[in-house]
Each structure stands twice: as structure tokens, then as C-alpha cells.
């Protein structure tokens, strides 16, 4: 039987605590949605980026988080990955080095 004292000192793994946002990502403002779930425009660092094509959609559902990844092509020719936190409704842009 577990006592109150044992529960207070119980070791916690860092993976059991929810993360604030996905790793290597920055928060963005989504400006437009198509069909109520597909992103068409977003603002990052006060620059509006228009999405011309969605290449891939991938869901990651775990016990503590649910994210949807969108691999998109923008009007400026860049390929980016947008991350949607399905529980909180917050959008992120993944920082990528070699694109």
C-alpha cells in the first residue's frame, strides 16, 4: 500500500509531464482556414505566408498530447511544416535548417 509520504517523493519522468509546445517550433498566427481545418495563410514574424499546396498531413496522438503536422509549400517557394496542437488549438511553425 502506498502512503502519502511515498507519493510525495515518487520520482517523475520528464516525459510524463506535458510539454508547452512542440520541440524546435515557434508560435504562429493562423489567418485563414479552408474547409474549417486546412490552413491557407499564416503570419510569422509579421510576414504573411500564403500556402499554395499541402503535401502531407500526419497525426501524432499520445497520452499527453495530440498534434497534427502539415507539410506545406508556400507562395514564396519555401517548404514548411506547420504543427496544430489539437487540444489547445494553437498553431506552430517548425524551425528547419536545411530547406
Each residue's pLDDT tens digit, 64-74: 789 999 999 99
Q: Which of 62, 69, 61 is nearest to 96 (CA)?
A: 69
* Residue 70 belongs to some domain of the structure: yes
Count structural domains, the chain: 1
Per-residue model confidence (pLDDT) at position 6: 47
| pTM summary value | 0.73
* Residue 89 belongs to some domain of the structure: yes
- 81: exposed, middle or buried (C-beta count within 10 Å: 0-12, 13-18, 19+)? buried
Domain boundaries, position 26: 22-94
* Residue 37 belongs to some domain of the structure: yes
* Residue 8 belongs to some domain of the structure: no
* Residue 99 belongs to some domain of the structure: no
Distance (Å, whole) CA 92 – CA 19: 13
pLDDT 10s digits, 48-88: 999 999 999 999 888 878 999 999 999 999 999 999 999 88
* Residue 72 belongs to some domain of the structure: yes
* Residue 30 belongs to some domain of the structure: yes
* Residue 58 belongs to some domain of the structure: yes
Amino acid at each position: 500500500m502506498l502512503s502519502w509520504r511515498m507519493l510525495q517523493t515518487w520520482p517523475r519522468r520528464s516525459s510524463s509531464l506535458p510539454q508547452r509546445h512542440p520541440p524546435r517550433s515557434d508560435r504562429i498566427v493562423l489567418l485563414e482556414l479552408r474547409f474549417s481545418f486546412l490552413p491557407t495563410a499564416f503570419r510569422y514574424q509579421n510576414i504573411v505566408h500564403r500556402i499554395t499546396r499541402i503535401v502531407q498531413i500526419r497525426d501524432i496522438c499520445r497520452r499527453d498530447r495530440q498534434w497534427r503536422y502539415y507539410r506545406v509549400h508556400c507562395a514564396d517557394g519555401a517548404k514548411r511544416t506547420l504543427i496544430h496542437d489539437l487540444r489547445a488549438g494553437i498553431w506552430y511553425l517548425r524551425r528547419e535548417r536545411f530547406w
